[in-house]
Chains A and B, each alone.
Chain A
Amino acid sequence: MSGSSVPGQAPGGNERFFTRQATGLVREVSWVDAAIYNLIWSSVPLSIAFILAFGTAFYVGGNLMIATVIAFVLALPCAVLYAVLSAAVPRSGGDYTWVSRTLHPSLGFASNLGFSFWATFFIGIYAVYLGFYGIGPVLRVAAVYTGNSSILSASDFFFSTGGVVTTGAVLVVLSALVLSFGRGLRGFMRFQRWAFVVWLIGSVLLPIAIFALADQNSFKANFDNYAQKLGGTPGAYDAYVAAGQYAGAAMDLGATFLTVTLAYYTLGFIFQSAYFGGEIKQGKRNTLLSIPGAQVIAVLMILASIAVFLSNAGAGLLAGTGAQLFGTDLSATGFTFAPLYTELAAIASGNLLVGLFITVGMLLLFILFVPQTMILLSRNLFAWSFDRLMPDRIAEVNERTHSPINAMIVIVVLSLISVAIVATNQNLTFIVGLFGLTVTYLFVSVAGIFFPYRQRDTFEASPYNARVGGVPVVSIIGVLSLIGMALISYVLLNDQNSGTALGVNPERVALALAVPTIGFVAYFIIKAIQKTRGVNIDLAYREIPPE
């Protein structure tokens, strides 16, 4: 062992220790890397797309900028709580571990089953969107700028139900195949880093830059010209404005509060790095920058997009696209499917390569999301299997492919069912799943409140063991998170467009509540079954007294 130790400095830059050469001591993931990971999963471009389209079309009196800021304020405590808990309990399975260990394993399973159910639903959503919002627009831009009508015909296929089901199913199966082989998984991880750069520049920064410089009149001319090349009648821009019926009503605080739904879609889901802890616990600065910090970056991107698109693309046009997305027939304009803000930016650019770069950026979002979420789901299945809540065969690694084939088969089957359901139920919009996911956050918030009391040693040894007036700061953050998520739940249950409005879609609200309830009950049924086999599943999380 001689000569093998080194003076330690960092993480966080405020450390003083000596390390010896021992396996596993890798440099901490930088906050930038972690923030990138969080931004990828949170789908900022999709949030921008729906704020611009649906916010203008359906949220009369709702101020999009203020609603975005409110969504940020309400979601921030939950993001901070994830940052705190991931620093205190790194690399331990996120909500499943926190809730199981702090409250009860049955509640942990209830929470995580709900999260997994809705994550599977979102796989279906994104797989279906690949055709609508991913491949279709890329081909349409290519067709218009090259004048190739066969490309245009091909693009129509990806806007059809058959097209989206086919592309969705192919994406799911291909993702599973890639993830099932070590080499494929490594390739995906490398692809992901480059794809993020195209995603960020193409679908966020370039559109903002283009519309910051664009003039509405010249854009209108470009738009009409583009529509005519799609075979549409003249005056497409005005047709959209007419269909959108954007009233430009004065701001209404109540309506603005309900508009929070749209920005929450992104701002509530920036925490995936919580599942990637380091061996030496991360410093405060790192986790705070990577989770709430990423939230700040996302909020700035959304606000900038709202500002430039409302003023220079025109709220009326955007409202028209929202109306078309919800069934208004505007195919006479040449657009058989509504253009998103990215395609509008491609139109404003007037350039084939720029247009393709922008629309490919959006396409990559869908391609990245599906395998990323499959990885997350496979982790959950593994965790349940290890805890004997699922058959241990699910976590078995295939000897030949060295991969968890059984887990992947389960995920593929459920994902394909999700694709079929979403593709054939157009009213099942992306936001339907938000309430279900929010229920998991309510569990995590309560776990955060009790964490310092139920996991006293872990809390005291964590970087976040401060108290204010004798009350642990973590518990205060938990309370704020609970309030934030309760208010978000109120919005989702009262916003007529959320898909989970209590007065409009009570069956969906019931489903969102039923899934964790089923998980809670199932835990005790599984426990009884395992007991007959001589296995006590409570042991999986029962702490051995150290004294």
Chain B
Amino acid sequence: MPFWNRSPTPRYSLFYVADLHGSEKCFRKFVNAGKFYRVDALILGGDVTGKALVPLVRLEDGSYEARFLGRTEIARDEKELVTLEGQIRFNGFYPFRTDSEELGQLAADPVRREEHFQRVISAAVRQWVALADERLQGTGVACLVMPGNDDGEFVGEILSEGRTLINPEGRTIELGPYQMLSYGWSNITPWNSPRELPEDQLEARIEALTSDLESGRPTIYNLHVPPYGTRIDDAPEIREDLSLVGGSSATMVPVGSTAVRRVLERHAPMLGLHGHIHESRGSARLGPTVCLNPGSDYNTGILKGVIVRLRGSDVEDVQFVAA
């Protein structure tokens, strides 16, 4: 805005990202983004945890072997092992050291595998919470991190242990001059992820949260899943076996939530923050509501996000970034 037109209403700015899926590099960038972009708040809108474990299997000679990205990597000493683990984490996977015996047991026993997953994810999320607390304490930058549909319930509990990092899910919180409602569950997906609900139940739960909102105040809805049919919810069409319809000339279909759309249309908040669909970075308007999805490229180490500058009840400016 030119200086001759500057409004007396102070500007409030936030940086929003979603779907980091275990990428440590992206999370570190997220934590540092407050100072970098000079924003008042950092918001991570769900899907914090990764999707895959990559075993580093101890070989007879004491070295470790990992197979990922179409190649076999051998780490001969601790230094190489740490480097290899870093590369695996960079891609949003969780590395873990094991031997062939344990690997066989994990492959054969789904319960044991799940316990292992939970253990590894819990440790990683705790590290992230500690990192954010340490880096952001006393900076004045709000840090809000909410679990998404891909994060088990235990993830929300760990996020709630933070001191500076706050888990805003399932309630209304104050964000500068604004109030923000947050919810990370999604509508039903083909993946049967940990936190999904049928549309009617999802709508009822979000609607229940709106009762805490103060009427007449500008409001932000931080809902992981985007509203249906807005192009920021387009994803490749897949079959029941999760293969792509049409291969590389895939058909993009809307997969957002009709419940979220109805809630937004009914309450008309100033801003809707969404993630969930990595491919459909963009903005859309639903009546007066500006809906944003920053997309995600977590597996490249690139932090996709959006800087939102608010003034009064207006969304003054939106800037997508790939940091």
Contact = CB atoms under 8 A, between A and B. Distances in A.
Interface in B160-188: 186
Contact of B230 (A8, A11, A397): A397
Interface stretch (A249-257, A322-330, A534-542): A534-542
Of B1, B21, B71, B284, the most chain A CB neighbours within 10 A belong to: B71
A18 B29 contact: no
Contacts of A467: none
A143 interface: no
A460 B88 CA distance: 10
Contacts of B113: 5, 7, 18
B152 A1 contact: yes
Contact of A386 (B90, B248, B287, B320): B320
B245 to A, nearest CB: 9
B217 interface: no
Contacts of A17: 52-55, 67-68, 93
B231 to A, nearest CB: 4
Given A25-B51, A189-B251, A539 B246 contact: no
A397 B232 contact: yes
B67 to A, nearest CB: 4
Given A1-B152, A544-B36, A7 B107 contact: yes
A2 B153 CA distance: 12
Main SS class of interface, B: mixed
A30 B243 CA distance: 10
Contacts of A545: 29, 32, 36
A233 interface: no
Interface in A1-46: 1-5, 7-8, 11-12, 14-27, 29-30, 32-34, 36-37, 40
Interface string A390-434: 001001110100111000000000000000000000000000000
A33 B244 CA distance: 10
B70 A280 contact: no
A546 interface: yes
A284 B70 contact: yes
Main SS class of interface, A: loop
B150 A23 contact: yes
A547 B191 contact: no
A249 B264 CA distance: 73
B229 interface: yes
B322 A541 contact: yes
Interface in B224-262: 229-232, 234, 236-238, 241-244, 246-254
B247 A189 contact: no
Contacts of B307: 539
Contacts of A280: 52, 299
Given A89-B300, A458-B300, A544-B32, A534 B323 contact: no
A190 to B, nearest CB: 7
Interface string B96-118: 00000000001100110110011
Nearest to B317: A535
Contact of A21 (B25, B193, B282, B319): B193
Contacts of B107: 7, 18
Nearest to A28: B244
B51 A22 contact: yes
A108 to B, nearest CB: 11
Contacts of B71: 14, 283-284, 463
A8 B149 CA distance: 21
B217 to A, nearest CB: 25
Given A18-B113, A92-B300, A283-B70, A192 B32 contact: no
Contacts of A2: 111, 114
Given A19-B51, A546-B28, A397 B284 contact: yes
Interface string A47-91: 000000000000000000000000000000000000000001111
Contact of B114 (A4, A88, A92): A4
Given A3-B114, A397-B282, A462 B52 contact: no
A11 B323 contact: no
Contacts of B244: 26-27, 29, 33
B1 A23 contact: no
Interface in A413-459: 457-458
A182 interface: yes
A461 interface: yes
Given A36-B247, A193-B249, A457-B301, A5 B110 contact: yes
12 contacts: A1-B118, A8-B52, A16-B67, A21-B191, A21-B193, A23-B191, A89-B302, A101-B322, A281-B91, A392-B318, A397-B285, A540-B319
Given A12-B69, A463-B70, 20 more contacts: A7-B113, A16-B67, A25-B51, A26-B243, A27-B243, A30-B247, A33-B249, A37-B248, A182-B234, A186-B251, A189-B251, A192-B249, A282-B70, A284-B69, A285-B70, A397-B230, A397-B285, A457-B25, A534-B1, A546-B29
Q: Which 8 A-B pairs have the closest CB atoms?
A: A33-B247, A283-B70, A12-B70, A546-B28, A386-B320, A461-B90, A37-B248, A544-B29
